[in-house]
Amino acid sequence: MKIDILTVVPDLLASPFSHSIMKRAQDKGLLHVQVHNLRQWAINKQAQVDDYQYGGGAGMVLMCEPLANAIESLQTSTKYDAIIYMTPDGKTLNQQTANQLSLQENLLIICGHYKGIDERIRQRFITHEISIGDYVLSGGELAAAVLVDAIGRLLPGVLNDETSALTDSFQDNLLAPPVYTRPADFRGDKVPDILLQGDPRKVEEWRYEQSLERTKMRRPDLLKGEE
Ligand code: 6GU
């Protein structure tokens, strides 16, 4: 999968994909993330990409021309399956959306900044608008990093058996069960016996019960099929 990201602050996205699982995904050739600086498509020598909003009010808006030129220029070499705008008024990201997007070949992610992007760009080019939760970030970059991570780890071959996405929280609308490692006795707090006894069927059953219990207590909305 190829993911292009368009931003006015490319430095913010320099590190998130250069470590751990995202790095491995790229090293294996399963994921290719490319960050593009919107100022490459600025409208003048001042490298202008934003302007005051019509009607007045605080905050700058990313202008139509740099965005349109950037998107169209990237489209000459890539046919995008989705053009995603990261915005707090978008649809809240969940595992189902991450799963669906992980099946695509080419994604373009646009990061807003300041007050956002001109509405006409949203209507003309954007196919998906995604938020990562009900709070406001100062730009879409960190949200884009979250989205790429959530998608990237689902690509076939990225995770090995031990880190398999199949046992994640949310993958079956249940939270993950508690986990333990050595020692079996930490200051008198013991690991549940069933995990030490070596019966895989019993372990699986116990984990499922724990998942269910934890979901009932912490996220009953998930059991009702809500989001
Ligand atoms: Cl995608 N962008 C911004 N600026 N703030 C957010 C967000 C996105 N998702 C939640 N808050």
Q: Label residue 63 by pLDDT band (50, 70, 90).
A: very high
Question: Per-residue pLDDT for 207 more than 80?
Answer: yes
* Residue 93 near ligand 1, beta carbon < 6 Å: no
Atom of ligand 1 nearest to the CA of 138: 4
Query: What letter does residue 155 receive in the DSSP assignment?
Result: S
Strand 189-190, strand 185-186: pairing: antiparallel
Q: Report yes or no: 94 and 221 within 8 Å, Cβ to Cβ.
A: no
Q: Which of 39, 37, 34 is nearest to 18 (CA)?
A: 34
pLDDT on residue 227: 53
Label residue 187 exposed, middle or buried (CB < 10 Å: 0-12, 13-18, 19+). Answer: exposed
* Residue 137 near ligand 1, beta carbon < 6 Å: yes
Q: What angle do CA 223, 224, 227 make, to 5 degrees?
A: 90
* Residue 133 near ligand 1, beta carbon < 6 Å: yes
* Residue 59 near ligand 1, beta carbon < 6 Å: no
* Residue 139 near ligand 1, beta carbon < 6 Å: yes
Atom of ligand 1 nearest to the CA of 140: 2
CA diameter of the chain: 70
| 96: three-class secondary structure by DSSP | helix
Tell me which of 3.40.50.10860, 3.40.50.11540, 1.10.1270.20, 3.40.50.800 is the CATH number of domain 169-223. Answer: 1.10.1270.20
What pTM value is reported for the model? 0.94
Question: Per-residue pLDDT for 167 more than 90?
Answer: no
Q: Is the peptide bond between 183 and the residue preceding it cis, with omega within 30 degrees of 0?
A: yes
Range 144-161 average pLDDT: 94
Range 91-105 average pLDDT: 97
pLDDT on residue 160: 83
Q: What letter represents residue 97's amino acid?
A: T
Q: Where are the domains of the chain?
A: 2-152, 169-223
- Cα 140 to middle of ligand 1, angstroms: 5
* Residue 147 near ligand 1, beta carbon < 6 Å: no
Query: Is-same-fold flag (2-152; 169-223)?
Result: no
Label residue 28 exposed, middle or buried (CB < 10 Å: 0-12, 13-18, 19+). Answer: exposed
* Residue 7 near ligand 1, beta carbon < 6 Å: no
Pocket test for ligand 1, best of 5, 13, 93, 137 (most atoms within 8 A of CB): 137
Range 37-55 average pLDDT: 96
The secondary element (H helix, E strand) that includes residue 87 is strand 82-92
Atom of ligand 1 nearest to the CA of 90: 1
CATH number listed for the domain at residues 2-152: 3.40.1280.10
pLDDT on residue 83: 98
Mean pLDDT (the chain) is 95
Give me the helix-helix angle, 141-152 and 20-27, nearest 10°: 60
Q: How many residues does the chain have?
A: 227
CB-hemisphere CA count at 13 Å for 36?
Answer: 19
